[in-house]
Chains A and B, each alone.
Chain A
Amino acid sequence: MLRKISKGLVTLALMAVSWGYSDATARPLDEIIKSGEIRVGVNPTLPPLGKFNEKNEIIGFDVDVATELAKMLGVKLQVVQVGSPDRIPFVTSGKIDFVMGAMTRNPERAKVIDFTVPVHTEVFGVLTTEGKPFEKVQDLNRPDVTLVQVRGSTPVKYIEDNLKNAKVVLLDNYPDAIRAIAQGRGDAIIDVIDFVGEHMNKHNVKWRVVPTPVDVYYCGLGVAKNSTGLKDWLNVAVFELQRRGKIDELWEKAFGIKMLFPTGMTPYF
Chain B
Amino acid sequence: MLDYTFQYGQIWPYLPRLIDGAYLALEIAFLSFCGGLLIGTANASLLSFGPKWVAKPIQAFVVFFTNTPQLVQIYFLYFALPDAGVLLSSYAAVLIGMTLNAGAYLTEIQRAGFSTRRQSEMEAAIVLGFSRWQQIRYVILPHIARVLFPPLSNHYIIMTLGTSMAAIFGVEELTGQALNINSITFRSLEIFSVVAGLYIAITLLASLALGLLGSVLFRTKLRVI
> A residues near B, CB below 8 A?
18, 21-22, 24-26, 84-85, 88-89, 92, 108-109, 111-112, 151-152, 156-157, 169-172, 176, 179, 183-185, 226
Contacts and interface: CB of A to CB of B under 8 A. Distances in A.
A24 to B, nearest CB: 6
Given A183-B87, A184-B82, A184-B87, A152 B168 contact: no
Contacts, number: 55
Given A18-B1, A89-B188, 8 more contacts: A85-B179, A85-B182, A85-B183, A88-B186, A108-B185, A111-B186, A169-B90, A183-B83
Given A24-B2, A184-B82, A185-B87, A172 B168 contact: yes
Chain B contact surface mostly: helix
B82 A25 contact: no
B2 A21 contact: yes
Nearest to A156: B183
Contacts of A89: 182, 186, 188
A109 B183 CA distance: 9
A175 to B, nearest CB: 10
Contacts of A109: 186
A226 B5 CA distance: 12
Nearest to B88: A185
Contacts of B2: 21, 24
The 3 A-B pairs of least Cβ separation, nearest first, read A152-B183, A183-B82, A112-B186
Contacts of B186: 88-89, 92, 108-109, 111-112
B183 A171 contact: no
Contact of A171 (B82, B87, B168): B168
28 contacts: A21-B1, A21-B2, A24-B2, A24-B3, A25-B3, A85-B182, A88-B186, A89-B188, A92-B4, A108-B185, A112-B186, A151-B179, A151-B180, A152-B182, A152-B183, A156-B183, A169-B90, A169-B170, A170-B170, A170-B172, A170-B176, A170-B180, A171-B169, A172-B168, A183-B82, A185-B82, A185-B87, A185-B89
Contacts of A184: 82, 87
Interface of B: 1-4, 79, 82-83, 87, 89-90, 168-170, 172, 176, 179-180, 182-186, 188
A171 B167 CA distance: 8
A219 B148 CA distance: 58
Contacts of B168: 171-172
Counting chain A CB atoms within 10 Å of each CB, which of B3, B82, B89 scores highest?
B3
Contact of A179 (B4, B79, B176, B180): B79
B3 A226 contact: yes
Contact of B79 (A111, A112, A176): A176
A109 B186 CA distance: 8
Contacts of A183: 79, 82-83, 87
Contacts of A157: 184
A58 to B, nearest CB: 23
Nearest to B81: A183
Nearest to B187: A112
A84 B180 CA distance: 12
B178 to A, nearest CB: 11
Contacts of A112: 186
A152 B186 CA distance: 10
Nearest to A203: B83
A210 B29 CA distance: 41
Contacts of A84: 183
Nearest to B169: A171
B77 to A, nearest CB: 13
Nearest to B188: A89
A156 B89 CA distance: 21
Contacts of A88: 186
Contacts of B82: 183-185
